[in-house]
Amino acid sequence: ETGVTQTPRHLVMGMTNKKSLKCEQHLGHNAMYWYKQSAKKPLELMFVYNFKEQTENNSVPSRFSPECPNSSHLFLHLHTLQPEDSALYLCASSHSWDSGVNTGELFFGEGSRLTVL
Amino acid sequence: QKEVEQNSGPLSVPEGAIASLNCTYSDRGSQSFFWYRQYSGKSPELIMSIYSNGDKEDGRFTAQLNKASQYVSLLIRDSQPSDSATYLCAASIWSARQLTFGSGTQLTVLP
C-alpha cells in the first residue's frame, strides 16, 4: 500500500448531490489534513485532525463536513456544493505536532479532482 | 496574515542551466521551510527541507535560507526537462501547527 491513498480520483457531481471523499494513510501518522487546490491559488488548508480530534477549521463552509474515525482514515462529506467548489482536494498526513518528531513535512495523497456542475 | 510569496512565473531555462526559484515569508515565527515539486495533475512531493540559515545541498538541488531577510530559495543545477513542474514553497510555524504554502512557481526546462 502506498503512503496516502485517496478515492475517488475523479468526481463529477451536481449541486444537489451528496458524495464523500476518502483518504487513508499507512504511514503511522497521527495528524491528517484536507487541502483545496484551485488554479493559480495557494494550497488552502481546510481542516486539521490531530489524534482524531479536529484542531483546525479554516472558515470552511458547512457544505463541507469532515470526519475522522481513526488516525488512519479521513473523509470529506460533500453536500449542496457550488460550481466554485470545483478543485483538486488533497489529503495529507504528518506526525503529530506534539510528537517531538514532527519536522513540518506533509505527505500528500494523489488528490481527488472534483467538478461541480 | 501569514503569507508565503512566490513569483508565479512561468520561468523558462534551457537544459543544463541553473534554475533559481525564490520565496519570501511574512511571519518571523516561521521555523521550518520546505520546497515541494508538483507535476501537472499530480500531488506535491517534498524535495528539500531547510531549518537553519545557510545552504543545504542534495544532489542537483540547493536550498538557501536567510531568516534575517525572510527569504528562501531553491537552486536547481544542470536543469533537465524532467524538472519542469510547479515548485511550491512552504513555511511552518510550530505555534500555529500548520504549513503555509505559496502559490507556486511554474518552471519549464527547454530541451
Which of A90, A103, A105 shows the shortest C-beta gap to B43? A90
pLDDT score for A15:
87
The letter for the amino acid at A46 is M
Give the angle subtended at the CA of A46 by the CAs of A22 and A87, to the nearest 5°: 70
Contacts with A90 from chain B: Cβ below 8 Å = 43-44
pLDDT tens-place string over residues B50-104: 999 999 999 999 999 999 999 999 999 999 999 999 999 999 876 777 788 998 9
Distance CA(A11)–CA(A108), nearest Å, equals 18
- B104/A48 Cβ within 8 A: no
Residue B43 amino acid letter? S
pLDDT at A67: 95
Report the gap between the CA of A54 and the closest CA in chain B (Å).
Answer: 12
Q: Is there a contact between A107 and A3 (Cβ–Cβ < 8 Å)?
A: yes
B32: distance to nearest CA of chain A, Å? 7
Question: How is residue B18 annotated by DSSP?
Answer: P
**Shortest Cα–Cα distance, A97 to chain B (Å):** 6
* Angle, CA of A15, A117 and B39, to the nearest 5°: 120
B80 touches chain A (CB under 8 A): no
H/E element, A33: strand A31-37
- Rounded CA gap, A109 and A94, in Å? 12
Q: What is the pLDDT of residues B28-47, one digit of tens each?
A: 888 889 999 999 888 999 99
Among A40, A45, A107, beta carbon nearest to B103: A40
- The Cβ of residue B11 has, within 10 Å, a number of other Cβ atoms equal to 16
CB B46 to CB A56 under 8 A? Answer: no
